[in-house]
Amino acid sequence: MQVGRPQLIEWLSYDRKQAKELFEKARAIKHKNIGRKTFFRGLVEFSNICAKDCNYCGIRKSNKNSHRYKLSDEDILESAKYALDNNFASLALQSGELESRAFTSRVAGLVEKLMAIREGGFGITLSCGEQSEETYRLWREKGASRYLLRIESSTKDLYYQLHPNDAKHNFERRLGCIHLLRKTGWQVGTGIMIGVPGQTVEHLADDLLFMQNIDIDMCGMGPYIEHTDTPLYTRRNELWPMAERSFMTIKMIACLRILMEDINIAATTALQTSDPLGRTKALSYGANIIMPNITPGAYRDEYALYQNKPKTSDSFSDYIDSLETEIRAAGDEPGYGVFGDSPRFGKR
Ligand code: 5AD
């Protein structure tokens, strides 16, 4: 649906009482266009080694307090088997950003192996940062089909408050990569962080219009959560209270669902961190994707983009039960055994 910038700014400025109507509208649009199924992506955070130095992120290269790890192929295949056993048909492989021949071929080999262990393959989402056109093409050929590359902010000025202004962190290159992904045949996802210092509802309205303009297939966005070992921590006094960041995230999800009725929208882990009911609210008011973390336990805590990341229970069956509870509390059904591709992409 086309919605003007002033209307979006008004919606994003709503208080809790006013937002009820917005939320109901988004919910109805979701049910009509997407249905009542929540799809799973088994999330494997396979390495926290990163060449970038984003000012907000706990795994930035300069953070010497981060313990670096890289999962073995065996570990990753083990996680995928877990996904298989629990009837998740989709995986999301996420890592720090590295550009090298070794990394390119490692991910290519991994995708190939993962596709082979499930009849009909997995729906694989990659989230491995900025890469060359050849790399994107290779990974796509190996069978991965979705790629998530957050723009973080579509306002250049704010982008450079969040990243160093140097050759490794270039706004135009990031945008260019989103276009390369489209060109090389991916379902393309992007997203932003909500509640970063200096961000206003005007910025957020522009982010929504940006996503609509470039016609994304998927979106993952969540609240910014400060991390002590990062430069942005010095601006913590400017932050909205956490409850406000969570509430704004739900409003953003609802607005995006109204703007783009048939895309996939994730209820992210960061949202669950900021509000225990966050993911259920997101699924109630527009989101349709949940990404259970299936990274092996020994590594799960080291992928610390932000602090106080929720600890997943040691027992995976308890974990699945709690996910199902969250999904049903939102009035949805778990979408087992299906990819859950972006309906928008299918129509293109
Ligand atoms: N708080 C919330 N989200 C974060 N990310 C990175 N650091 C933080 C943080 N401190 C998000 C970024 C990145 C994704 C992998 O995680 O949006 O793209």
- SS3 per residue for the chain: CCCCHHHHHHHHHCCHHHHHHHHHHHHHHHHHHCCCEEEECEEEEEECCCCCCCCCCCCCCCCCCCCCCECCHHHHHHHHHHHHHCCCCEEEEEECCCCCHHHHHHHHHHHHHHHHCCCCCCEEEEECCCCCHHHHHHHHHCCCCEEECCCECCCHHHHHHHCCCECCECHHHHHHHHHHHHHCCCEEEECEEECCCCCCHHHHHHHHHHHHHCCCCEEEEEECCCCCCCHHHHHHHHCCCHHHHHHHHHHHHHHHHHHCCCCEEEECHHHHHHCCCHHHHHHHCCCCEECCECCCHHHHCCCCCCCCCCCCCCCHHHHHHHHHHHHHHCCCEEECCCCCCCHHHHHC
| Residues of the chain predicted below pLDDT 50 | none
pLDDT number for residue 306:
86
For the Cβ of 266 lying below 6 angstroms from any atom of ligand 1, the answer is no
| Atom number of ligand 1 nearest to Cα 150 | 18
Bridge partners (DSSP) of residue 125 are 92, 146
pLDDT number for residue 7:
98
For the Cβ of 227 lying below 6 angstroms from any atom of ligand 1, the answer is yes
pLDDT number for residue 143:
98
Tokens linked to 249: 């995230």
pLDDT number for residue 145:
98
pLDDT number for residue 301:
82
pLDDT number for residue 288:
98
In the reported structure, the alpha carbon of residue 63 is separated from the centroid of ligand 1 by a whole-number distance in angstroms of 15
For the Cβ of 40 lying below 6 angstroms from any atom of ligand 1, the answer is no
Pocket probe for ligand 1: among 54, 56, 309, the residue whose CB has the most ligand atoms within 8 Å is: 56
pLDDT number for residue 139:
98
CA distances from 148 to 35, 170, 307 (A): 23, 17, 22
pLDDT number for residue 103:
98
For the Cβ of 192 lying below 6 angstroms from any atom of ligand 1, the answer is no
Tell me the per-residue pLDDT of 253-292, one tens digit each, with 9 for 90 and over. Answer: 999 999 999 999 999 989 988 899 999 999 999 999 999 9
For the Cβ of 271 lying below 6 angstroms from any atom of ligand 1, the answer is no
pLDDT number for residue 226:
96
pLDDT number for residue 314:
60
pLDDT number for residue 307:
84
pLDDT number for residue 302:
85
In the reported structure, the alpha carbon of residue 116 is separated from the centroid of ligand 1 by a whole-number distance in angstroms of 31
| Atom number of ligand 1 nearest to Cα 152 | 17
pLDDT number for residue 326:
94
For the Cβ of 115 lying below 6 angstroms from any atom of ligand 1, the answer is no
Pocket probe for ligand 1: among 177, 248, 306, the residue whose CB has the most ligand atoms within 8 Å is: 306
